[in-house]
């Protein structure tokens, strides 16, 4: 990334924690069961019935989150909308697919089909905010958010623009939860609950009232943990940082040992002494969960202490007021994403 | 008889077009469905075409024909009475 | 802002569509004005009255042709993608294992839907089709293709409906322009499915005849399928390894119509902004463009608003333009890269493909290229791709 600094000016989330709030910091909702749907706000407070009548849940959440992000930043519309989603508009896709498979190729209506494409989310936000700017959607399993963040940062810097809305959104219907279990993405030994995620951020070159600074961000593919560790070391040294500068790692560990192993090895190789914050025990697992990890990192940089329920190990950690947070994420131990956030 | 069909149609329209904010009483059977009336659009017209076929066995030739049929709930009811096969 | 970007060279391209497998077959069809749109013969749908642009081999035959064992679960989009990537790598003189520092950016929307619509009820009831559940999503389609090559340095999937492949090329170009990487394989793939054929059909925008873009009698689009990928390189590394660029990616733009989920605005604001940005990025004037490959789906809505945008931007100097969708069908998420390859072939071989629609056009001032034009010098070519959600993209390829 170039020398132009980037900031996160506002952020909002809807998840299985209290929506559009930071109650999870002090009084997190208990996660009960292996599949927990998001707690939705009263959408009527945010969206008019006529503008949202065709929207599935993921769209209502996305537009609500975007609205919140923009209003916190004091903007009517962003200059770009960059979205990540692992599965897109699942509810609409399922309705159309199920009708197709059960009743055949007749008597199908257009509504669910037209809401089924992945970019319906980014386009609903654009229509809602009358944003004619750059609009793109990345859909690549659990690095969907990271690819979106990466592209948004490159766009801002290469186009010399000021701000972009970046978000990641995944709804998990009861049916898709079953499918995610069947393919072994959730429901494995020791794994946290399957959740849902909607998180958005205003990425900006302006620091006014910003939550934190995004020092650097990177996405890469690596073969094996050795190569991933090498990439992470290069990432840190490219920004003149060492492990000693990192106060906390925000990690995507989810309790399933083979999945967590890739995180453990990265930390062991690169920053073995640094305490690890685990957010999925609070927010659950889904393809857009990493956006909630990034959200957690942004918020922790505004607070003077990190609550104990966020630490991955029971070992007591001395109170930390983080200055630098390293966010790490991986998908299938193949695609890795790193971000460095700094207190301002 | 027609009154009953009008009530049923209103319910079906609310359901298929996700007009969650409305009750059948809010829909004036003689008011235009499109444009000024309920503010429906071309996608709603396509859903109504499917509704006619699925619930009443009426197959419209094209969207243009729908324009005439979907003038109001009352006009729709008349059309259904005259053409229904279900 | 004066920044010196590396020039982005195209050093390889591969294509498969209803026009056949590979550049030679595609070129032959274009030069003989032979359409690939025909009655349905591969897709298993009740709507046999709808003509489509199919790749005329079954999924099993595609797998066999590519040496993919029948025991390996796969999807039609992934196989089509593989065909196009193989050809692109060969032209760029890259071996499949020489991609460590290379990025792979692939676009699709249907992903593994061809198998999902076949096995969906099995997905719900038992474990025997779990391999196909895992192949359903967009990222899985990219990963399946990626796994046949590499290792890669970076892998990403873009999904923005019918502008997907154009946006994959834009993302790839941005990665190189920003110095994030020096070589990208970018493009898109999309097979026909009952899911989206029926979806488009519910919107009543499928023509029962061959589509007639920009004509007064146009009545919708024909769906098609296929894949195309480009090898993009920082010119320097291409020259260092002795590859002469086929052309350069010089301009790109993306904007959102922000009007309606499926309809387009009457004045074509999104398309206008996308094309304008592409010209600005390429530092070209409207009069510099030698040919525009229009999105031109043949739906009443798209063509009206695209032509309005073309008139707004180009005014009196509207260059020759045509839609090649009557050749290939609308290949949705792959159309941006398929039509990019058509543009590049046109530049290389000095021709302008015809619009294949005759009769009265949508307005007296609308004159798409009616007949094949040969012996043309195409220095700068624009390629348009617009999608659902008003996602509008334009690319400019230059040879100079």
pLDDT for C39-62, tens place per residue?
A: 999 999 999 999 999 999 999 999
Chain B residues within 8 angstroms (CB to CB) of chain C: 41-43, 46, 50, 62-63
As a whole number of angstroms, the distance between CA A145 and CA A289 comes to 9
Give residue for tokens 């007009």.
B19
pLDDT over 50 at C193, yes or no: yes
**By the 8 A CB rule, do C43 and C194 touch?**
yes
pLDDT at res. A316: 65
C292 contacts C310 by C-beta, under 8 angstroms: yes
pLDDT at C3 over 50: no
Residue C95 has pLDDT above 70, yes or no: yes
Contact C256 A86 (CB under 8 A): no
Confidence grade of residue C1 (pLDDT, cut at 50, 70, 90): very low
Mean pLDDT of C283-312: 97
The model scores a pTM over 0.80 = yes
Q: Is A227 exposed, middle or buried (0-12, 13-18, 19+ CB in 10 A)?
A: middle
Interface contacts (A, C; CB < 8 Å): 196
- Which chains would you list as touching C if contact means 3+ CB atom pairs under 8 Å? A, B
Question: At residue A235, does pLDDT exceed 90?
Answer: yes
User: How would residue C226 be classed by pLDDT, with cut points 50, 70 and 90?
Assistant: very high
- Is the pLDDT confidence value at C235 over 70? yes
Q: How far is CA A289 from CA A38, A322, B24, in A?
A: 12, 22, 41
Looking at CA atoms only, how far is residue A110 from chain B in angstroms? 7
- What's the N-to-C CA distance of chain B in angstroms? 16
Does the pLDDT at position A255 exceed 70?
yes
A54 touching chain B per CB within 8 A = yes
Q: Taking the domains of chain C in order of start, what are their residue ranges?
A: 8-240, 251-398
> Are the Cβ atoms of A53 and B17 closer than 8 angstroms?
yes
Structure tokens at A185: 């993405």
ipTM at complex level: 0.97
| A327 pLDDT above the threshold of 90 | yes
Beta bridge partners of A35: A194
How far apart CA C325 and CA A160 sit, in angstroms, is: 36
Task: Please tell me the distance from the alpha carbon of residue A323 to that of residue A344, in angstroms, as a whole number.
Answer: 8
Question: What string of DSSP letters covers C267-311?
Answer: T-HHHHHHHHHHHHHHT--GGG--EEE----S-HHHHHHHHHHHH
Q: What is the mean pLDDT of residues B58-64?
A: 83
Residue A167 backbone dihedrals phi, psi, to 5 degrees: -155, 165
One fold for both C8-240 and C251-398?
A: yes
Partner A, chain C 122-141, Cβ-Cβ below 8 Å: 123-124, 127, 130, 133-134, 136-140
Cross-chain residue pair B46–A50, CB shorter than 8 Å: no
pLDDT of residue A1: 47
pLDDT of C372: 97
- Nearest residue in chain A measured CA to CA from C257: A132
Q: Using an 8 Å CB-CB cutoff, list chain A residues near C156.
A: 138, 140, 147, 219
- Give the mutation candidate from C172, C386, C389 for the A interface (greatest A CB count, under 10 A): C389
- Domain C8-240 = CATH 3.40.47.10: yes
Predicted confidence at residue B61, as pLDDT, reads 78
Q: Which two tokens stand for residue C181?
A: 């990487």
- Specify the higher pLDDT residue, B66 or A145: A145
Q: Residue B40 and residue B33: Cα distance in Å, rounded? A: 6
Mean pLDDT of C114-128: 96
Can you list the domains of chain A with their CATH numbers?
A: 6-204 (3.40.47.10), 212-342 (3.40.47.10)
B9: number of Cβ within 10 Å: 23
pLDDT at A50: 80
Give the CA angle between residues C119, C121, C126 to the nearest 5°: 90
Of C124, C140, C137, C113, the closest CA to residue A181 belongs to C124
pLDDT for the residue numbered C349 = 98
Q: C251-398 in CATH: which number? A: 3.40.47.10
Q: What is the CA radius of gyration of chain A?
A: 19
The answer, for A117 touching chain C at a CB cutoff of 8 Å, is yes
Q: How confident is the model at residue B36 (pLDDT cuts 50, 70, 90)?
A: confident
Residue C213 contacts by C-beta under 8 Å, 6 or more apart in sequence? C294, C296, C297, C298, C303, C322, C323, C325, C326, C355, C357, C368
| pLDDT at site C177 | 95
The DSSP line for C44-76 is --S-TTS-BB--SS-HHHHHHHTT--TTS---H
Does the beta-carbon distance from C156 to A123 stay under 8 Å? Answer: no
* Residue A108 contacts C, CB cutoff 8 Å: yes
**C-alpha dist (Å) from residue C21 to A330, C41, C62, C139:** 36, 17, 11, 25
């Amino acid at each position: 990334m170039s020398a132009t600094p980037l900031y996160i000016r506002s952020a909002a989330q809807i998840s299985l924690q209290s929506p559009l709030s930071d109650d999870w910091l002090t009084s997190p909702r208990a996660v009960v069961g292996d599949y927990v749907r998001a707690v939705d706000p009263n959408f009527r407070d945010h969206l008019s019935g006529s503008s949202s009548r065709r929207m599935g849940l993921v769209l209502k959440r996305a537009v609500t989150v975007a609205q919140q992000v923009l209003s916190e930043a004091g903007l009517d519309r962003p200059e770009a909308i960059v979205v990540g989603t692992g599965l897109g508009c699942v509810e609409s896709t399922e309705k159309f697919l199920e009708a197709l498979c059960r009743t055949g190729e007749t008597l199908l209506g257009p509504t669910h089909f037209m809401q089924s494409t992945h970019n319906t989310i980014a386009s609903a936000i654009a229509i809602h905010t009358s944003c004619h700017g750059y609009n793109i959607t990345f859909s690549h399993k659990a690095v969907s958010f990271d690819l979106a963040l990466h592209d948004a940062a490159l766009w801002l810097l290469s186009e010399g623009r000021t701000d972009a809305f970046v978000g990641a959104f995944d709804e998990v219907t009861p049916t898709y939860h079953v499918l995610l279990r069947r393919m072994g993405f959730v429901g494995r030994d020791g794994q946290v609950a399957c959740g849902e995620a909607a998180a958005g951020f205003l990425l900006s070159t302006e620091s006014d009232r910003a939550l934190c600074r995004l020092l650097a961000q990177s996405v890469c593919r690596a073969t094996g943990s050795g190569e991933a560790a090498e990439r992470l070391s290069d990432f840190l040294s490219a920004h003149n940082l060492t492990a000693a500068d990192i106060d906390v790692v925000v990690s995507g560990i989810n309790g399933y040992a083979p999945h967590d192993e890739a995180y453990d090895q990265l930390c062991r190789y690169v920053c073995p002494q640094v305490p690890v914050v685990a957010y999925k025990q609070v927010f659950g697992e889904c393809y857009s969960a990493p956006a909630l990890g990034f959200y957690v990192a942004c918020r922790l940089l505004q607070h003077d202490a990190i609550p104990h329920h966020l630490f991955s190990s029971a070992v007591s950690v001395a109170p930390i007021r983080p200055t630098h947070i390293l966010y790490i994420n991986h998908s299938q131990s193949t695609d890795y994403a790193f971000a460095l956030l700094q207190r301002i | 008889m027609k009154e009953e069909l009008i009530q049923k149609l209103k319910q079906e329209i609310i359901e298929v077009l996700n007009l969650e904010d409305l009750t059948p009483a809010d829909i004036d059977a003689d008011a235009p469905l499109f444009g000024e009336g309920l503010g429906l659009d071309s996608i709603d017209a396509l859903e109504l075409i499917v509704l006619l076929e699925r619930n009443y066995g009426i197959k419209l030739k094209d969207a243009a024909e729908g324009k005439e049929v979907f003038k109001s709930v009352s006009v729709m009811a008349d059309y259904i009475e005259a053409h229904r096969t279900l | 802002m004066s920044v010196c970007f590396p020039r982005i060279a195209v050093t390889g391209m591969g294509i498969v569509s209803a026009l056949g497998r590979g550049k030679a077959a595609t070129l032959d069809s274009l030069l003989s004005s032979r359409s690939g749109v025909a009655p349905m013969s591969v897709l298993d749908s009740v709507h046999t009255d709808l003509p489509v642009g199919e790749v005329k081999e079954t999924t099993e035959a595609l797998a066999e042709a590519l040496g993919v064992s029948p025991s390996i679960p796969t999807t039609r989009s992934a196989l089509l993608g593989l065909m196009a990537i193989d050809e692109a790598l060969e032209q760029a003189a890259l071996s499949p294992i020489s991609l460590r520092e290379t990025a792979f950016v692939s676009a699709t929307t249907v992903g593994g839907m061809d198998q999902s619509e076949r096995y969906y009820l099995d997905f719900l009831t038992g474990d025997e089709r779990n391999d196909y559940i895992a192949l359903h999503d967009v990222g899985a389609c990219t990963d399946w293709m990626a796994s046949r090559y590499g290792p890669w340095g970076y892998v990403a999937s873009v999904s923005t409906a019918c502008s997907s492949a154009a946006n994959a090329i834009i993302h790839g170009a941005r990665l190189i322009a920003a110095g994030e990487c020096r070589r990208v394989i970018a493009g898109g793939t999309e097979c026909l499915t009952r899911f989206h054929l029926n979806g488009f059909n519910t919107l009543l925008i499928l023509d029962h005849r061959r589509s007639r873009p920009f004509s007064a009698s146009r009545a919708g689009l024909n769906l098609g399928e296929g894949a195309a990928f480009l090898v993009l390189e920082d010119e320097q590394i291409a020259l260092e390894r002795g590859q002469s660029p086929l052309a350069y990616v010089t301009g790109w733009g993306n904007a959102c119509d922000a009007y309606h989920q499926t309809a387009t605005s009457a004045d074509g604001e999104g398309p206008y902004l996308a094309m304008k940005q592409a010209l600005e990025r390429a530092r070209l004037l409207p009069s510099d463009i030698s040919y525009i490959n229009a999105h031109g789906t043949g739906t009443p809505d798209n063509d009206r608003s695209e032509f309005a945008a073309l008139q707004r931007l180009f005014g009196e100097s509207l260059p020759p333009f045509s839609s090649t969708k009557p050749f290939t069908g609308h290949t949705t998420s792959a159309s941006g890269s398929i039509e990019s390859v058509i543009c590049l072939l046109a530049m290389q071989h000095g021709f302008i493909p015809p619009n294949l629609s005759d009769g009265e056009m949508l307005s007296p001032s609308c004159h798409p290229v009616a007949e094949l034009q040969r012996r043309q010098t195409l220095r700068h070519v624009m390629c348009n791709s617009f999608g659902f959600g008003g996602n509008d993209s334009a690319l400019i390829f230059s040879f100079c």
